[in-house]
Amino acid sequence: MGNTAQAVSPFTAETGTPDRERRTLWRPDIYFPIIGGLLLLGIWEVVGRAVNPILFAPPSRVIQELVGMTLNGRLPRAFLTTMNALSVGYLLSVVVGLVTGVILGRWKVVARVLEPYIDAVYATPRVVIIPLVILWFGVGYIGRVFIIWIGTVIPILINTAIGVRNARQDLIEVAKSFGASERQLARHVTLPGSVPYIAAGLKIAAGRALVGVVVAEIFLDLTGLGGIVQTEAQYFRTARMLGAVLVIGALGTVFIGGLGALERRFESWRETPTT
């Protein structure tokens, strides 16, 4: 048999992989949002310059006001105030939500008693309970944290309870056969198996926490980023108001996007039904 030469394409050779490099460089999930954002900024600039600045402001003016509020320290102080209440309220909701979710998932009797009330609280807009929060806690820090907590804890506990109920029963039975206590079951079996559901609950709760902190700042003591939005809107300083709105939106993108990445990271842990 004669030797036949086989041509090797430079685009598929292992040593030179321009084809693979092109696939790596071209990332539609990154470039498309950037292109869309640039187009949106361009349209926003044109429209903002064409209308009354009281009604709308172009991004160039908004950025100018953002730089000014940053240099005079107003924006950093407001950001730290918002992050303080947001972090404390969210962390409290994580602790309470995980513990309560495990209880609801493990004991059906407790779930039947509490779930109607949990659903009622979840469906109630936080705005309507603000007068009651003011009576209970005043208009200060504790009231803001409570507003964040009451709207954030329920998605976490609901998703945790669902995850616990969907835990593998064979693993639970094996652990019980070795004398595992409820605490050991929760730590080593049910909670690890519930991680994808918990991650989804954390992501949902993050959005509600951000809404809660802005609502609390606007309706309670006009502090933080929500206070800037409300104060500047009252004085028709639209560019500053939009600047604070952009910061809130960027915070939400980072916060929710990070938890969304966490959810995708543990998505493969979900147990798929076998046929």
12: pLDDT strictly greater than 50: no
Extract the tokens encoding 104: 């609801």
Q: pLDDT tens-digit profile of 48-95?
A: 788 777 788 888 888 999 999 999 999 999 999 999 999 999 999 999
Q: Is 66 helix (H, G, I), strand (E, B) or coil?
A: helix
Nearest to 81 by CA among 144, 146, 151, 150: 144
Q: Quick one: average pLDDT of 162-175?
A: 76
CA–CA gap between residue 78 and residue 214 (Å, rounded): 11
What domains can you pick out in the chain, each with its CATH number?
A: 56-269 (1.10.3720.10)
Residue-level pLDDT at 275: 41
Instruction: Tell me the percentage of the chain whose pLDDT exceeds 90.
Output: 33
Q: Residue 142: pLDDT above 90?
A: yes
pLDDT at residue 182 greater than cutoff 50 = yes
Lowest mean pLDDT among 6-10, 56-60, 178-182: 6-10
Confidence band, pLDDT 50/70/90 cuts, at residue 149: very high
| Cβ atoms 59, 39 nearer than 8 A | no
